Structure 1
Amino acid sequence: MHVVDEWLQTIPSVWVYVLVGLVVGLESLGIPLPGEIVLVSAALLAAQGVVHPLVVGICASAGAIVGDSIGYVIGRKGGQPLFDRLGRRFPKHFGPAHIAKAEQVFHRWGMWAVFFGRFVALLRILAGPLAGALRMPYWRFAVANILGGVLWAGGTTAGVYYLGVVADKWMKNFSWAGLGVAVVFGIATTMWLKRKAAKSVAAEEEQAAATEAVGA
């Protein structure tokens, strides 16, 4: 993600918005792209004042909703043969095991699979096309798609943005004294864990030896 963050900083802010909407939209459509990584990187840039968090959230929400809707249409028209072709071309994302697992989730949860699928990497790619292929009524898909897209995109942007702001303020107020305390605490904790682990290993060895002696 650090590489993506550095790359986004080299392009104008308007293109960051376009890129967020495009990548998230293509991923939602069914193309395996790092939509979440791009969104998180853009939200971190917003925390640094490079872009506006509200615009990032809106673009990501729009991309998620539109991409999923297009994926639904493609899945409805292509059906199972579409997933067979994708499975041969992208076995890591559309292999038979992945499709079977996603279908099982859809059959069990229905429209909620679309909603919660927005928060799961595999279902985020498959939700739209699979909902269409399984002939889910569009109005049910649309409700879950809109709610899930807005909550995922807006929530991710807001959460990462505020965490980034807090982290930035904390780093500015960070002192060498604080660093020293953190290092000492880390060393003490490591030594305590090692001592505890050594005692556990010794106790297990004694118990194993006693068991062998009884068996003999």
Structure 2
Amino acid sequence: MTSGLITHLIATYGYFAVFALIALESLGIPLPGETALIAASVYAGSTRHLDIVAIAAVASAAAIIGDNGGYWLGRRGGGALVARYGHIVRLDRRKLKVGRYLFARHGGSVVFFGRFISVLRTYSAFLAGLNRMPLVRFAAANAAGGVVWAAGYAAAAYALGSAAASLGSLVTLVGLGVTTVLTVVGALVLRRHMARLEERAEAMFPEVGHPEVTVAEPRLTRDAVGQCR
């Protein structure tokens, strides 16, 4: 999904577009929810066609509601869903093991801080349910992470949009350029860190796959064994 399309959706559908993209990403579908939040906030700051408080509230609600949906999907039928549809949403054996490792080591903090990390933002709620994280702990970490993430990103992007409105489009271009560079650098750092996490997860859980997945779909075990050979 291109930035132009996201901007068009926001200009056309406003808060509904922000809610849908963030909620679906939080549910476990890899969509640009964070980009939608930033784009909507910049749009609000530069045009005043949307209210920034409403954007932050909608984004918070979408993040919390979407994550709760992802949690219950993971808890109720996560194994079967991953075995059948995991490849569609890019949730493979390695991500399952990393999720299992992170929840075993860090618990609720994964849900809170995962809201600020691209890969975990999409899958953390589903993995929390799949790994049977207690509902009360999940709900508290999820609500706190959703509100802090939405308010923080909305305020920063709104300030950028407001500066662009008063000082000219150059400020927006510079700000977006810096954001792009930081995003690329962050992705590279995350990729290296993910590789380390995969090694640690493999060492902690040398058995193939995830218990919830292998029980639901034995065929996944044979595929995973083939990858390990």
Q: Give the TM-score category using the shorter length.
A: 0.7 to 0.9
| Cα distance per residue 1:104-141 (max 9 Å; x no partner) | 22221100000000011111111111111111110000
Q: Specify the SS of the correspondent of 1:88.
A: coil
| Cα distance per residue 1:67-117 (max 9 Å; x no partner) | 101111111001323222232333xx2021222222222221100000000
* TM-score, reference length from structure 2: 0.68
Q: Specify the SS of the correspondent of 1:89.
A: coil
Partner of 1:65: 64
- The amino acid across from 2:137 in the alignment is R
Map 1:6-85 to 2 at 5 A.
6-8=7-9, 10-11=11-12, 15-48=13-46, 49-85=48-84
Return the offset for 1:171: 2.3
Q: Equivalents in 1 of 2:84, 2:130: separation in Å? A: 14
* TM-score, reference length from structure 1: 0.72
Alignment root-mean-square deviation, CA: 2.0
Higher RCO, 1 vs 2 (CA within 8 Å, ≥6 residues apart):
2
Partner of 1:214: none
| Cα distance per residue 1:140-183 (max 9 Å; x no partner) | 00000000000111111011101221233232899xxxxxxxxx
Partner of 1:100: 97
Identity of aligned residues (%): 39
Return the offset for 1:10: 4.4
The answer as to whether partners of 1:4 and 1:41 remain within 8 angstroms in 2 is no
Gap regions ≥5 residues in structure 2:
172-229
Gap regions ≥5 residues in structure 1:
175-216
Q: Equivalents in 2 of 1:171, 1:19: separation in Å? A: 26
Change (3 A) 1:50 1:128: same
Greater mean alpha carbon deviation, residues 69-78 or residues 96-105: 96-105
- The amino acid across from 2:5 in the alignment is V
